[in-house]
């Protein structure tokens, strides 16, 4: 009974352990032997559940990027307003909270993951998100603001580990800054009429 609950959920356990090790040590540095040992099964057992090492990452990606896919789907049927954009940011922040380790893994292993098949998948999703926040003809600085908003949410999570404070508080602070950036990137001039605004004069 020492290893109870070990019935039929091996696949899941592999994913858990693999994600743990991948994000702790990196993808290349984590060997299947290591994963197998930690699970107290043989390497061959992993191959019963996953065709290749890459397959494990793919399965993680599919499972963990679902919230983001849903976010994209949702956003695409909303009006393209500042409000929507802010909501995208908010929801994205929440999605990251649950899929934290996986995104840390992606962030820290970009080079390793680049030519795995999900490399593209990830990049594509990021670009789609970017497209949801950014107006194509916007100024360069505004584009930077949007990208920064997105990235700060990834990076922030672990870049702020040295900063003391409650993780949830930090997340909120990050969210606030990201929201500001997106707001600034979508100046009123571009938004449906706002009579008083200064800052512009575009016809």
Site string for a copy of itself, 7-46 (x = CB under 8 A): ----------------x-xxxxx-----------------
Give every CB contact of residue 35 below 8 A, 6+ residues apart in sequence.
14, 17, 18, 21, 46
Burial string for 71-100 (b: 16+ CB within 10 Å, else e) reads: bbeebeeeeeebebbbbbbebbbebbeebb
Per the CB < 8 A criterion, the answer to whether 71 and 133 are in contact is no
Q: Which listed range, 36-44, 96-104, 124-132, 176-184, lies at the site for DNA (CB under 7 A)?
A: 36-44
Tell me how far, at minimum, the Cβ of 163 lies from DNA, in Å: 34
Minimum CB separation of residue 140 from a copy of itself in Å reads 4
Provide the mask over 127-166, with x wherever binding to a copy of itself is found by CB under 8 A and - wherever it is not. Answer: x-----------xxx-xxx-xx--xx--xx--xx-xx-x-
Task: Provide, rounded to whole angstroms, the least separation between the CB of residue 5 and DNA.
Answer: 11
Which are the contacts of 54, defined by CB distance < 8 A and separation ≥ 6?
116, 117
Tokens 């070990």 appear where? 6
**DSSP tag of 40:** T
Site string for DNA, 54-93 (x = CB under 7 A): x---------------------------------------
Sole binder of DNA in the list 20, 41, 131, 144 (CB under 7 A): 41
Site stretch for a copy of itself (CB under 8 A), options 10-18, 78-86, 88-96, 167-175: 167-175
At residue 189, φ and ψ (nearest 5 deg) are -50, -30
The token pair that represents 108 in the structure block: 């820290």
Looking at the Cβ atoms of 65 and 109, the one nearer to a copy of itself is 109
């Amino acid at each position: 009974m020492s290893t109870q609950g070990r019935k039929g959920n091996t696949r899941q356990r592999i994913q858990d352990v693999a994600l743990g090790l991948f994000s702790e040590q990196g993808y290349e540095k984590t060997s299947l032997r290591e994963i197998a040992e930690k699970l107290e099964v043989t390497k061959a057992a992993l191959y019963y559940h996953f065709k290749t090492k890459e397959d494990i990452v793919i399965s993680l990606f599919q499972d963990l990027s679902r919230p983001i896919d849903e976010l994209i789907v949702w956003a695409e049927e909303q009006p393209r307003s500042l409000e929507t954009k802010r909501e995208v940011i908010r929801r994205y922040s929440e999605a990251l909270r649950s899929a934290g380790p996986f995104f840390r893994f992606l962030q820290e292993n970009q080079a390793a993951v680049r030519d795995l098949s999900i490399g593209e998948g990830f990049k594509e999703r990021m670009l789609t998100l970017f497209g949801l926040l950014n107006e194509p003809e916007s100024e360069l600085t505004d584009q930077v603001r949007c990208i920064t908003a997105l990235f700060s949410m990834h990076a922030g999570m672990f870049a702020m580990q040295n900063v003391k404070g409650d993780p949830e508080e930090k997340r909120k602070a990050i969210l606030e800054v990201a929201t500001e950036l997106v707001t600034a990137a979508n100046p009123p001039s571009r938004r449906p009429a706002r009579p008083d605004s200064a800052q512009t004069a575009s016809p």
